[in-house]
Structure 1
Amino acid sequence: MPSCQHETLHLDVSPHAAEVGFSRPSLAKRKAATTASGRASGKTSDHLQLESLFPGPLVLPDDCLAIDPKEPPQSLRSWTMEKLRNPFTQERKTIYVVPTPDIPSGTAFSRTLNGWTLPFVLQAPLKGGCDAPKAKYIRNYLEAFYHPIPVRTLPNTASFVPWTEGKSKPNPKEPPQYVGLQLGDNVTRITTRPCPDETYPRQLNLNDMLDAAIEALPSDAYALVLLTDHDLYEDDDDDFCCGRAYGNSRVAVVSSARYHPLLDEPTEIDREHTWPFSHCDAYVQRLCRDAEEDHEPGGSASTTSSSSNPKRRKLTTPAPAPQPSASQPSPQPPQEPQDPMTRVVQAGLGTPGPNHNPAGMWLARVVRTVAHELGHCLCLDHCSYYACVMQGTAGMAEDLRQPPYLCLVCEAKLARAMKDLGSDGEGEGGGEVLLERYEKLMSYCTLWKSVGMFAAYKSWLEERITVLKKASS
């Protein structure tokens, strides 16, 4: 039983947003952002119904939008006019997934490289764990998320190999400064370094990995994503990096390392307030209050009343039904909550709990990031209109608070991209292809229904389908 029941939901920006100068686009601008013309037509109130499942970005302390509150939003019109955008063509339309590179077994090199994938917290004594997400599960998710774009596994196996350069032999007592990443006939030198925060023994350079991905890009590929279980870094100032995309080059690299569920405790991840429970008002208010107190030594922060914010909604969890007796009529079933996000949260609360299926939890975290990075290959910028899978992240806590879905604006961009493949569904409300995507995602989520994120996502998809059908009737 979770300790927090998330009784009130916070469905707009937090009080911290105003303090850092973030101003969310108005309802009219949000509606206009979903149109190719950049102008809102019809009643703005009609758009409000479509927004029922799209809360605003939370903008909590140390979030990406709190650090850079003036980042300009990308509307459908501005995305359409982007000169560097890569259109789909019938000759170049496939997304390729490169599974985690193999490591040859039975050598000192393999023992070293395999050791780098095991976080220090698990090494001695070994505390147990779970398997990293398999490439086939990630590919299947992408097939649903980006339907009808073809998603394939790259035929050429990737593998790490020793890197030999010059005549000098590497010192077997020292970890290798470089390793080779072989993809097909090409071998790319990958720089390594000790992990600055000592979470893992050693990290691989993300930019080198992206260079290898560029070299491996097939001629019929629209985009390619390279998966790895090793921890990554981008530059000397980074502690780590979970993933990155070279959007114009149509490649991305994603690491599963930092999403390991057994790292949650040492890194103080609040599992009870990952999405969709990140919209818990008590949680939002607590983080804002703590940040305010940190900036005002000796002062006391005030807490905004829940009733003062129309974007907070009561989560009406049904109470246990009383037992009927001879003198007592049978109890009526609890009334279903009217708010769709309330039902989404309740679906997540109905799972065994955040500690039940660590492998499924790990998968949920990774597929969301892979979908995000591939979104950049479609030229989708970081989103600031809504809580959205395309939001930027400034840390692991924010990453896990964000939803798996595309918001209304980003949905419109994907629908427009589908036009190049001969699919319909441009603009708000989507079309048949959008409903097909949702149905496929629901089927995927059903396979992982014991995981809170997937159970909540399935409920969100069901609610969204209902709204779309009602809007089109």
Structure 2
Amino acid sequence: MSASAKSKKTKKVKNVRYVPYARGFKIPTKKDQVLALGLGVGNKLPIPKEYTDTTFSDVNPFTFFNNIQQPTSIDDWLAQYNEEGQTYSQYLKQCPWLSPRKVKGMHDNFVSSAKTLSGKYPGSKIYIVPVGEFNEEDYISFSNLLDYSKRFLCLPIATLPHFKLQQNGDKLYWVDEPSTKTTVRSSPRTRLTELTSRFHTNTGNFQVQISPLLTKLRQNIPRDAFCLIGLTRHDLYADESDLFVAGMAAGNHGVAVFSLNRYDPSFSFSTEFWYQRYKVPGYTAEERRHLILQRSCKLVVHEICHILGLDHCIFFDCCMNGSGHLAEDFRQPMHLCPVDLRKLQTLCGFNTVKRYEQLLEFYKKFKMESETDWVERRIAYLKQK
């Protein structure tokens, strides 16, 4: 997913039927897809059923998994960036979590001989924590986000009491309370730290600069954390020229923060001014809750996968594709392609069918019909003899 969407002045072009890929980008061939998986052609190894749905042939090795989509807008990710992609073999070499050496900053006991992430760090977990309060009008359930992340990643997921933010007029503050402090330097008093932000008087809208939030998260990361993911309903920006940023990770420090502000379908947002948004009529409360949950689930696992070492995917239509704008993000699938599924399976050690069954329970519960249908068919295929 794109970290930012910037305001740009471009000439309007009518009746554009073809948008080219970024200069230098090469569309992966069927052979490239199989080579990226690290099996099949050139490796003299059969493709396990969990990574495909047909017997390999030069014509069509995969049918459940679609090819990446041709750009339809000049703002689409692959219309802007010449992504090289990350093969499975490259992931094994690049991912620090698979190293026989302890990752810098990890405090948990380390088992160098273990093969999976939880085996190497048996007491650690991923933390997903609210930054600022969410109320019923936000239509966001953190318990559901935690549940989905656990089913998708097959790793321990936990949360903490929300990190408090306080608005005083046109200023926004991070609130450090004595009860949340664990260091010898903790103060018996509540402390307010002003966050860099911008405020629009006429609309009353805030945007919070992301760097100070990452700093505060670093100061509060638990000792048993693989990473700490902060989620906020506040809009975010990094540089003054930004229209907004969806979020940002400081992977070397194990922290990230992301905004769910623009995931509500009942609002549309200006492409020119950060503070302008417009009400979109016609959505029921149930529809809003459904779409916000679906979009938020995809955002959270996409970004955690980045922290776990997975780069953007170019080999298939995949949850790990990059996106240059919200519409592109929304139309991308929730499932992983074979290449990224193999990466995550190697890191986490899950049984693929059981993982799909756990996801199916979630999709059925929240009436995600297309995801339910896809996973049901996938499970049925994998269980065929």
TM-score (norm 1): 0.61
Whichever residue aligns with residue 79 of structure 2, its letter is A
CA distance in 2, matches of 1:238, 1:210: 17
Whether 1:394 aligns to 2:312 is no
Whether 1:358 aligns to 2:288 is yes
What SS is found at the alignment partner of 2:198? strand
- Report the CA distance shift for 1:415/1:50 in structure 2 as closer, same or farther (over 3 A): farther
For 2:355, the equivalent position in structure 1 comes to 437
What does the per-residue CA deviation read over 1:282-328, in whole Å, with 9 as the maximum and x for residues that have no partner? xxxxxxxxxxxxxxxxxxxxxxxxxxxxxxxxxxxxxxxxxxxxxxx
- What is the aligned counterpart of 1:202 among 191, 203, 206? 206
Taking the TM superposition and a 5 Å limit, the aligned residue runs for 1:461-472 are 461-470=375-384
What SS is found at the alignment partner of 1:261? coil
For 2:338, the equivalent position in structure 1 comes to 408
CA distance in 2, matches of 1:74, 1:21: 16
What does the per-residue CA deviation read over 1:150-182, in whole Å, with 9 as the maximum and x for residues that have no partner? 11112x4411147xxxxxxxxx7x511x52243
Gaps of 5+ in 1: 1-13, 104-113, 115-128, 163-171, 272-352, 425-432
- Report the CA distance shift for 1:355/1:98 in structure 2 as closer, same or farther (over 3 A): closer
- What is the aligned counterpart of 1:375 among 305, 325, 332? 305
Taking the TM superposition and a 5 Å limit, the aligned residue runs for 1:145-160 are 145-147=152-154, 149-154=155-160, 156-160=161-165
Sequence identity percentage:
28
CA distance in 2, matches of 1:92, 1:246: 22
CA distance in 1, matches of 2:176, 2:306: 25
What does the per-residue CA deviation read over 1:351-402, in whole Å, with 9 as the maximum and x for residues that have no partner? xx99961111111111110111111110111111111111111111111111
How far has the Cα of 1:90 moved from its partner?
Answer: 2.9
Taking the TM superposition and a 5 Å limit, the aligned residue runs for 1:132-143 are 132-143=139-150
Whichever residue aligns with residue 440 of structure 1, its letter is Q
Whichever residue aligns with residue 436 of structure 1, its letter is K
CA distance in 2, matches of 1:18, 1:230: 33
How far has the Cα of 1:415 moved from its partner?
Answer: 0.8
What does the per-residue CA deviation read over 1:240-267, in whole Å, with 9 as the maximum and x for residues that have no partner? 1122222332222121101111114877
- Report the CA distance shift for 1:22/1:201 in structure 2 as closer, same or farther (over 3 A): same
How far has the Cα of 1:212 moved from its partner?
Answer: 1.9
- Report the CA distance shift for 1:161/1:357 in structure 2 as closer, same or farther (over 3 A): closer
- What is the aligned counterpart of 2:130 among 95, 99, 105? 99
- Report the CA distance shift for 1:265/1:18 in structure 2 as closer, same or farther (over 3 A): closer
Q: Check conservation: 2:22, 2:78, Cα contact below 8 A.
A: no
- What is the aligned counterpart of 2:173 among 179, 192, 203? 179
How far has the Cα of 1:46 moved from its partner?
Answer: 2.6
Q: Check conservation: 2:91, 2:310, Cα contact below 8 A.
A: yes
Q: Check conservation: 1:205, 1:233, Cα contact below 8 A.
A: yes
Whichever residue aligns with residue 140 of structure 1, its letter is D
- Report the CA distance shift for 1:464/1:83 in structure 2 as closer, same or farther (over 3 A): closer
Q: Check conservation: 2:125, 2:156, Cα contact below 8 A.
A: yes
CA distance in 2, matches of 1:200, 1:396: 23
Whichever residue aligns with residue 25 of structure 1, its letter is P
What SS is found at the alignment partner of 1:370? helix
More strand by share: 2
- What is the aligned counterpart of 1:79 among 69, 88, 91? 91
How far has the Cα of 1:50 moved from its partner?
Answer: 6.2
TM-score (norm 2): 0.73
For 2:76, the equivalent position in structure 1 comes to 63
CA distance in 2, matches of 1:63, 1:394: 5
For 1:229, the equivalent position in structure 2 comes to 233
More helix by share: 1
What SS is found at the alignment partner of 2:72? coil
What SS is found at the alignment partner of 2:266? helix
Gaps of 5+ in 2: 1-16, 48-53, 100-116, 272-276
How far has the Cα of 1:407 moved from its partner?
Answer: 1.1
Whichever residue aligns with residue 442 of structure 1, its letter is L
What SS is found at the alignment partner of 2:27? coil
- Report the CA distance shift for 1:380/1:43 in structure 2 as closer, same or farther (over 3 A): closer
